[in-house]
A and B are shown apart, each in its own frame.
Chain A
Amino acid sequence: MEQENTQVQVIPADKAKIRKIWRVALILAVVTAVEFLIAFTVGAGAFRTWVFILLTIVKAFYIVAEFMHLGHEKKSLIWSILLPMMFVVFLIFILMYQGAALLEVLY
């Protein structure tokens, strides 16, 4: 049913809500800047790679939980999105293992 609303009531903005959005944006920007800094100050290696992965997960958390609002959804929805990602974790381990085996065979 489409209603003809000639007078739409605009609810005034909630300042606290908007401030929170910008705070998340600031966190994302700062983490990216830190990643940038690490790229040029810390030598390449397993340690740096793990720091990058950790910071990426931090950023992903803020985007998914706050921007995509998943953190405020029902628990069942949160889990039905997060649990299938276990397959991805599985694929990471199995293909990294495969990559190392290929390196040994090829070189």
Chain B
Amino acid sequence: MANTAVVVDESSANPWGGGVAPMKASYGKLMMWFFLLSDAFTFSALLITYGMIRYSHPAYEGAISDFAFSQEYWPIPEMVFEAVPFLHGVHAPLVFVGIMTFILILSSVTMVLAVEAGHRMDRKGVEKWMLWTIIGGITFLGCQAWEWSHFIHGADMSKNVGSNLIQGANLSINQYGPSNFAALFFFITGFHGFHVFSGVVINFIIFYQATVGILERRGHYEMVEKVGLYWHFVDLVWVFVFTFFYLV
């Protein structure tokens, strides 16, 4: 075989022998998919850990209207996350986190539109939609910064634990419930927020490359597609965090 010149028939060629894209996806896209798969494992592990730890604590039993924060049982998320900026003292359960969810979904949509524009070699379109995506990402990060700050500094409903007045949260104790509650909040939303942050940075780099014409000279906008995959994944993770951390 080694010294015979063969005319390789494309259809029967070994897809793993090189020269062709196995699974009809380019190397970069395929590797992005496998990276996202491994990242999905990490996030699954975090969320399942949340489920396990929550399940190993007693749940609050009683009417929602009588609910009070206690270290004895796991808090009801909608009683913890009920603040909205500029509306101090207004009980608006899950409203702010709902707004954040819509912002992230919208920025995912603008990312699809950027990829679509890239397929058509429409540089102006790529620039416009990438910019909207970046703005959406930054807005989401700003919202999360506010939420963290509010969570750390605490709600008006302070709680006496032993002789100490507890307000807000840190890694060892918090006013909302068992210490694991705050620890998991910081870990899961923090890890997701860091993904959003790196997504914004990567999006900006590709936006810059599109703007100065690097991608156009390259002849294709596949980089937009690859960072698009990452960005959608970040949105996907948020969908799960929203359900399992805030709704259930």
**A and B are partners in one complex rather than unrelated chains:** yes
Most buried by A among B56, B216, B236: B56
| Interface contact A49-B98, CB-CB below 8 Å | no
Is the CB–CB distance between A56 and B240 below 8 Å?
yes
Q: Are B52 and A52 in contact (CB under 8 A)?
A: no
Query: What residues of chain B lie closer than 8 Å to A84, measured between beta carbons?
Result: 37, 41
The secondary-structure label for the interface of chain A is helix
Q: Interface size (B, Cβ < 8 Å)?
A: 59
Q: Which residues in B have their C-beta under 8 angstroms from that of A17?
A: 116
A41 close to chain B: CB less than 8 A? no
- Give chain A residues whose Cβ lies under 8 Å from the Cβ of B45: 91
CB distance from B212 to the nearest CB of A (A): 14
Binds A, one of B6-14, B183-191, B201-209, B227-235: B227-235
The reply to whether the CB of B196 lies closer than 8 angstroms to some CB of chain A is no
What is the bound-complex CA distance between A17 and B125, given in angstroms?
A: 15
Asked if A91 contacts B122 (CB within 8 A), the reply is no
What residues of A have a CB within 8 angstroms of the CB of B229 in the complex? 68
B235 CB to nearest chain A CB (Å): 6
- 4 closest cross-chain pairs (CB), A and B: A99-B55, A102-B56, A99-B52, A11-B120
Chain A interfacial positions (CB closer than 8 Å to B): 2-5, 8-13, 17-18, 21-22, 24-25, 28-29, 32, 35-36, 39-40, 44, 48-49, 52-53, 55-56, 59-60, 63-64, 66-68, 73-74, 76-77, 80-81, 84-85, 87-88, 91-92, 95-96, 98-100, 102-103, 106-107
Q: Could you give 21 example pairs across A and B, Cβ below 8 Å?
A: A10-B120, A13-B117, A13-B125, A17-B116, A18-B113, A21-B116, A24-B109, A28-B105, A32-B102, A36-B98, A52-B247, A63-B235, A67-B112, A68-B236, A73-B25, A85-B44, A88-B44, A92-B48, A92-B51, A96-B55, A102-B52
